[in-house]
Amino acid sequence: MSIFVDENTKVIYQGLTGSQGRYYGLLNRDYGTKVVAGTNPRKAGEDVDGIPIYANIQEAVDATGATASCIFIPAAGVQSAVLEAAEGGIEFIVAITEGVPAHDEAYFYNYLQNEFPNVQLLGPNCPGIISPGKCNIGITAGHIAKPGGPVGIVSRSGTLTYQALYELKEKGIGCTTCVGIGGDPVPGTSFIDCLKAFEEDPETKAVMMIGEIGGAAEEEAAEFIANNMTKPVSAYVAGVTAPPGKKMGHAGAIVSGGKGTAQAKMDALRDANVRVGLNPTEAGEHMVDIIAELGLN
Amino acid sequence: MDLFEYQGKQFFSKYGLPVSSGEITFTVEEAVEAAERLGLPVMVKAQVHTGGRGKAGGVKFAATIDDVREHASNIFGLNIKDHVVKRIWIEKASDIAEEYYASFTLDRSAKKHLGMLSAEGGVEIETVAEENPDAIAKIWIDPTKGLDLETATQWVSSANLPEKAVEGATEILLDLYKSYVEGDADLVEINPLILTSEGKVHVLDAKVTLDGNSTFRHPEYVEFDQTQTRDERETAAHDRGLQYVGLDGTVGVIANGAGLAMATVDVVNQVGGSAANFLDIGGGANAEVMAGALEVINNDPEVKSIFINIFGGITRGEEVANGIIEALQNVEIEAPIVIRLDGTNADEGRTILEPHLSEALQMAPTMLDAAEQAVDLARKESN
């Protein structure tokens, strides 16, 4: 099984008529994702390589029965795109767009919590989600992932997610679902949301987690793992050598005054019996050991 | 984007917050003229993107014009935690009876806005938080609901501000929240917020950090972007649209993706070296971006070797390899380069790189191997 999406998930692409939306929308369809519609109020009635374009989410949902959407809309339009998706009946919203203002993220996160508590938002500023062999929503290169299982992956970093998928594949290990939650200050989906789902998913036997400096998400995840996870976890946290007070690329990756350092995060994870690698490869090797110990190799 | 105090005060005054009148100056003469226009006494305040100005002698009271001249002469050029003072803000001095603290920022764990108010201002709030956490009244604000008068009033009374300050402080907090939300700030902080001897609540300092992602709706923030403190290398990278942070080491780092770039810096460190920078060229890794990145690294005299760490996802290995070779033809690179190429079509990419390999351009199979090679080369070049 997979978490959040599977081979039957029907997806609407908000921004399918844009260059990024078209490129990844069609790649995702080629992978096997059910890309059933796109939206654009000015291009309703047209199509993108056979995928019908509707004026808005509501019409697209009514026509296709889609339950998920993927947002490839410039940052300025992401807030209204998220609200439109939720109001149109979408249950799982994946926002790929980077550069969304933090105040917008805080606003629509809380708006969904208050008005649409059952809607799951992933992102913004994330690579998306892939259940290898079943469904790929976002910008992950599908062929670097091995279908099946038994590992679930959750990551705050894009390229490190690909690295993790690839290293597991090289070692012959498959992945049930890989969720890139993104590095922004208010991610719609947290580590804990994913850990909880992986814990409940019978086909996921172990979880690999990739964190970054900044915030307290890894520390909170460590607490959750200690109290609620029976499945083994391996982890890597990027930014051990990052100087305090400097932003390292991601809006979220900033260390302030000793809080949110990679060291503090690694310590918290180790205390929760997570096997922490000092680099991504080492975290992958830990996972190979875990799989062997579970007798799944 | 961090604002200087004077920019923060200009930002606050747009939202109706009471700030002292003042002028920004770049020379001692300008400082003297500003003081004459404003009327004595004045404060002479260094403008730097760091805290601890007072302790470093960067904030002085001037009762006479001679004082202004003396203080300004001392403060211009002063080094405060590696920030050299080039601007001085001259403002009318205030008569301080009491000092408070007020701020708004995003609480990433609660995913709500956090307001903090304390009757113990003028000192570092971290110290108050550690020694006397009860002295800070906190509220968490749902961004969809905002801050209303009733909540603000309760908040101010819970912070134990004296009766005569309650109304003024409440008004200021409402305006401060408005500036925080409408101005797309990551942080707005007033420390100290003062009560004057005449019983007025007044903004004496301003610390404002704006969200760089919000410039599409605040085109005027370009001005603040131009006054950010960056070293030469960071300016060069910024001009090329690259995500760059200068570090102190000798191995220049280029990677695609922020996480991978951070991991690369970590691995260099792990094998006993030190990175000269963090540089994320994004997902594409095409020739133009690669050339720009190499130029930036090449201009750093401390760089003794370069580690290019690329993981191909959607971008295929052969495209990355061709991009690197094209970039190398266009930029004269002094330091030896080690490339690690992995991911989609990595083998094809490596085959393309193969005939170009030399002492100056090496390839390594893994991230760790590449880091070791790059660190070795940096060591040899340094000797």
pLDDT tens-digit map of A215-248:
889 999 999 999 999 999 999 999 888 776 565 5
Over the stretch B199-211, which tens digit does the pLDDT of each residue have? 999 999 999 999 9
ipTM of the complex as predicted: 0.92
| Nearest Cα residue to A215 out of A178, A172, A174, A247 | A247
Predicted local confidence at residue A94, as pLDDT: 98
State the residue for tokens 């000798």.
B250
Annotated catalytic residue, options B100, B101, B177, B244: B101
Answer yes or no: is pLDDT of A204 > 70. Answer: yes
Answer yes or no: is pLDDT of A49 > 90. Answer: yes
Predicted local confidence at residue A251, as pLDDT: 45
Contact A242 B311 (CB under 8 A): no
- In chain A, count of helices (H) and strands (E)? 9, 14
Query: Residue A249: which of B144, B261, B268 has the nearest Cβ?
Result: B261
Q: Please state whether B28 falls in left (phi above 0), alpha (psi between -120 and 50) or beta.
A: alpha
Alpha carbons A147 and B298: distance in angstroms, whole number: 42
CA within 13 Å, CB half, B108: 25
Answer yes or no: is pLDDT of A252 > 70. Answer: no
Instruction: Copy the structure tokens of residue B1.
Output: 């984007």
Q: Is A76 exposed, middle or buried (0-12, 13-18, 19+ CB in 10 A)?
A: middle
Alpha carbons B97 and B164: distance in angstroms, whole number: 12
Q: How many CB atoms lie within 10 A of CB A117?
A: 8
Q: Which residues have a Cβ under 8 Å from the Cβ of B359 and sit 6 or more positions away?
A: B336
Answer yes or no: is pLDDT of B284 > 70. Answer: no
Determine contact, residues A7/A32, Cβ cutoff 8 Å.
yes
- Crossing angle of the two packed helices A102-115 and A78-87, in degrees rounded to 10: 10
Percent of chain A whose pLDDT exceeds 70: 94
Determine contact, residues A171/A188, Cβ cutoff 8 Å.
no
Over the stretch B43-89, which tens digit does the pLDDT of each residue have? 999 999 988 898 999 999 999 999 999 999 999 999 998 899 999 99
Coil, helix or strand at residue B378: helix
What string of DSSP letters covers B178-210?
HHHHHTTEEEEEEEEEEEETTS-EEE---EEEE
Query: What's the gap in Å between the CA of A222 and the closest CA on chain B?
Result: 14
Alpha carbons A241 and A221: distance in angstroms, whole number: 22
Contact B213 A111 (CB under 8 A): no
Q: Which residues in chain B (163-182) have CB-CB distances under 8 A to chain A?
A: 181
Q: Which residues pair with B202 in a beta bridge?
A: B194
* Residues from chain B contacting residue A154 (CB–CB below 8 Å): none
Does residue A250 carry a catalytic annotation? yes
State the residue for tokens 């604000």.
B141
Predicted local confidence at residue A197, as pLDDT: 98
- Which ranges in chain A belong to alpha helices (H)? 19-31, 57-64, 78-87, 102-115, 158-170, 191-200, 217-228, 262-271, 280-293
Averaged pLDDT, B13-35: 97
Averaged pLDDT, B227-242: 83
Contact B144 A107 (CB under 8 A): yes
Averaged pLDDT, A176-203: 96
Query: Residue A166: which of B126, B247, B342 has the nearest Cβ?
Result: B342
Q: Is B307 exposed, middle or buried (0-12, 13-18, 19+ CB in 10 A)?
A: buried
Predicted local confidence at residue A247, as pLDDT: 58
Contact A246 B184 (CB under 8 A): no
Does residue B101 carry a catalytic annotation? yes
Averaged pLDDT, B233-259: 89
Alpha carbons B165 and B139: distance in angstroms, whole number: 19
Alpha carbons B294 and B296: distance in angstroms, whole number: 5
Over the stretch B99-147, which tens digit does the pLDDT of each residue have? 999 999 999 889 999 999 999 988 777 788 888 889 999 999 999 999 9
Alpha carbons A211 and B27: distance in angstroms, whole number: 47
Q: How many CB atoms lie within 10 A of CB B253?
A: 29
DSSP B77: T
Coil, helix or strand at residue A209: strand
Predicted local confidence at residue B288, as pLDDT: 82
Determine contact, residues B196/B96, Cβ cutoff 8 Å.
yes
Predicted local confidence at residue A30, as pLDDT: 97
Query: Residue A110: which of B142, B257, B261 has the nearest Cβ?
Result: B142
Q: Apex CA A136: angle with CA A135 and CA A140, to 5°?
A: 155
The amino acid sitting at A36 is: V
Alpha-carbon distance values, A240 to A16, B252, B267, B339 (Å): 38, 17, 9, 22
- Pick among A155, A241, A256, A276 to test the B interface (most B CBs inside 10 A): A241
Helix, strand, coil proportions of chain B in percent (round to 5)? 40, 25, 30
State the residue for tokens 């080491």.
B249
- Pick among B83, B106, B108 to test the A interface (most A CBs inside 10 A): B108
Q: Tell me which of B27-36, B110-119, B342-351 is least confident.
A: B342-351
Contact A241 B265 (CB under 8 A): yes
Alpha carbons A4 and A2: distance in angstroms, whole number: 7
Phi and psi for A145 in degrees, rounded to 5? -115, 140
Predicted local confidence at residue A254, as pLDDT: 53
Predicted local confidence at residue A246, as pLDDT: 61
Across B249-352, the runs of DSSP E, i.e. the strands, are 251-255, 277-280, 305-312, 337-343
Instruction: Copy the structure tokens of residue A195.
Output: 């850990």
Q: What is the average pLDDT score of chain A?
A: 93
Answer yes or no: is pLDDT of B94 > 60. Answer: yes
Alpha carbons A29 and A49: distance in angstroms, whole number: 11
Predicted local confidence at residue A244, as pLDDT: 63
Q: Is B144 exposed, middle or buried (0-12, 13-18, 19+ CB in 10 A)?
A: middle
Alpha carbons B94 and B160: distance in angstroms, whole number: 23
Percent of chain B whose pLDDT exceeds 70: 99
Is the peptide bond preceding residue A117 cis, with omega within 30 degrees of 0?
no
Q: Which of A141-150, A249-258, B1-10 has the highest mean pLDDT?
A: B1-10
* Residues from chain B contacting residue A106 (CB–CB below 8 Å): 106, 111-113, 143
State the residue for tokens 């002469």.
B73
Q: Closest-CA residue in chain B for A250?
A: B258
Annotated catalytic residue, options B5, B98, B189, B318: B189
Determine contact, residues A208/A168, Cβ cutoff 8 Å.
yes
Coil, helix or strand at residue B287: helix
Predicted local confidence at residue B285, as pLDDT: 67
Q: What is the average pLDDT score of chain B?
A: 93
- Crossing angle of the two packed helices A280-293 and A158-170, in degrees rounded to 10: 40
Q: Closest-CA residue in chain A for B270?
A: A278
* Residues from chain B contacting residue A247 (CB–CB below 8 Å): 245
Order of all β-strands in the sheet with B251-255: B243-246, B277-280, B251-255, B305-312, B337-343, B361-363
Q: Which residues have a Cβ under 8 Å from the Cβ of A248 and sit 6 or more positions away?
A: A213, A239, A242, A254, B245, B258, B261, B262, B278
Determine contact, residues B134/B152, Cβ cutoff 8 Å.
no
| pTM, rounded to two decimals | 0.93
What domains does chain B contain, in order, with CATH numbers?
22-92 (3.30.1490.20), 96-223 (3.30.470.20), 232-382 (3.40.50.261)
Alpha carbons A281 and A287: distance in angstroms, whole number: 10
Contact A139 B313 (CB under 8 A): yes
